[in-house]
């Protein structure tokens, strides 16, 4: 008795005739007919009444059907479990304190491991990243410092520098460079998904009103239509400056951040593969 035969039995019930069932299974009708005969032989029991040019499922056939469905459900559960497993294995989870490192890592992953599903998580908390990596919930973490945590490896990855993005009409747009203090008090617009940068802005410009925008496209539109300050970095994917705005470097040391990637020691191969 084979699983395929049980599927055939179910198909015959579903389709009503052997001919229709055969078509739905991409088989010829005689082939299915014989396969069902084999099943009857294996079970030592007729499953159909042969009524003229039709075939009708009998009591034994119905008994077989209920059992067949049980078995096939169990089989489907197994297939599902392995499909999940396969998806998990193809998924690479990155937990990061900032978006820019994720962009670069994603690009490398796509190149080095085509087909990999990339699952990025942004957070403003470095300890959350470390925990996720340590517990195996993330394959790779992006943090702000080299780690000494036992069982984890880390190495510097990239440096990102924050810049003001100022409307040309704004008085501060003439300056060659600015400190956070120079702009503190000015309202500014910020995209919500920026990880730890959000903390930095709030700390360094405590007197400014923060206009948080959740929607990326709305945020971009607002850049053109409002004249409040905004931020960009040298790592911004889109290297160009939005029309009507100028980039002004920020002189504070805190505006320059080096990111470190980290992973568990047993996954050292991941780092080796990516760098």
Partner DNA sequence: ATGCCTTACGTTATACGTAATTATT
Partner DNA sequence: AATAATTACGTATAACGTAAGGCAT
Site residues (vs its own copies, CB under 8 A): 1-4, 43-45, 60, 63-64, 67-68, 70-71, 74-75, 77-79, 81-82, 85-86, 89
CB of 41 to its own copies, least distance (A): 12
Give residues 48-67 in contact with DNA (rule: CB under 7 A). Answer: 48, 50-55
- The listed partner (its own copies, DNA, none) that binds 149, CB under 5 to 8 Å by sort, is none
Q: Is position 35 an interface residue for DNA (rule: CB under 7 A)?
A: yes
The Cα-based distances of 80 to 66, 93, 115, 118, 137 in angstroms read: 21, 21, 20, 21, 21
Q: Is position 41 an interface residue for DNA (rule: CB under 7 A)?
A: no
Cβ proximity of 187 and 229 under 8 Å: yes
**Secondary structure E strands in the chain:** 48-51, 54-57, 91-96, 117-122, 140-143, 152-167, 188-191, 210-213, 230-233, 245-249, 256-264
CB of 3 to its own copies, least distance (A): 6
* Closer of 19 and 149 to DNA (Cβ): 19
Q: Is position 38 an interface residue for DNA (rule: CB under 7 A)?
A: yes
* Closer of 52 and 171 to DNA (Cβ): 52
CB of 7 to DNA, least distance (A): 11
Cβ proximity of 199 and 232 under 8 Å: no
* Number of residues in contact with DNA under rule CB under 7 A: 24
- The listed partner (its own copies, DNA, none) that binds 273, CB under 5 to 8 Å by sort, is none
CB count in 10 Å sphere of residue 256: 15
Dihedral sign from CA coordinates of 146, 152, 153, 156: negative
User: 189 pairs with which residues across the strands?
Assistant: 211
| Nearest CA among 50, 49, 73, 72 for reference residue 61 | 49
Q: How far apart are CA 35 and CA 18, in angstroms?
A: 11
Give residues 150-189 in contact with DNA (rule: CB under 7 A). Answer: none
Q: Is position 36 an interface residue for DNA (rule: CB under 7 A)?
A: yes
- Interface residues with DNA (CB under 7 A)? 4, 17-20, 26-31, 33-38, 48, 50-55
């Amino acid at each position: 008795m084979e699983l395929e035969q049980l599927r055939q039995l179910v198909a015959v019930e579903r389709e009503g005739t052997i001919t229709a069932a055969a078509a739905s299974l991409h088989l010829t009708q005689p082939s299915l007919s014989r396969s069902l005969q084999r099943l009857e032989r294996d079970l030592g029991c007729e499953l159909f009444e042969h009524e003229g040019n039709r075939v009708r499922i009998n009591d034994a056939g119905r008994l077989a059907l209920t059992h067949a469905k049980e078995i096939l459900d169990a089989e489907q559960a197994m297939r599902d479990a392995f499909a999940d497993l396969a998806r998990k294995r193809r998924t690479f989870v990155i937990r990061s304190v900032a978006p820019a490192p994720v962009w670069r890592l994603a690009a490398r992953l796509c190149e080095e491991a085509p087909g990999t599903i990339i699952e990025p998580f942004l957070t403003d908390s470095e300890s959350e990243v470390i925990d996720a990596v340590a517990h195996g919930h993330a394959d790779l973490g992006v943090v702000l410092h080299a780690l000494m945590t036992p069982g984890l490896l880390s190495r510097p990855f990239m440096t990102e520098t924050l810049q003001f993005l100022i409307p040309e009409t704004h008085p501060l747009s003439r300056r060659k460079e600015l400190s956070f203090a120079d702009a503190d008090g000015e309202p500014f617009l910020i995209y919500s998904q920026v990880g730890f940068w959000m903390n930095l802005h709030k700390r360094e410009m405590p007197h400014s009103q923060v206009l948080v925008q959740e929607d990326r496209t709305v945020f971009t539109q607002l850049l053109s239509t409002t004249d409040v300050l905004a931020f960009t970095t040298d790592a911004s994917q889109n290297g160009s400056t939005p029309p009507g705005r100028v980039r002004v470097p920020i002189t504070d040391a805190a505006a320059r951040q080096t990111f470190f990637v980290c992973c568990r020691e047993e996954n050292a191969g991941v780092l080796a593969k990516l760098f």
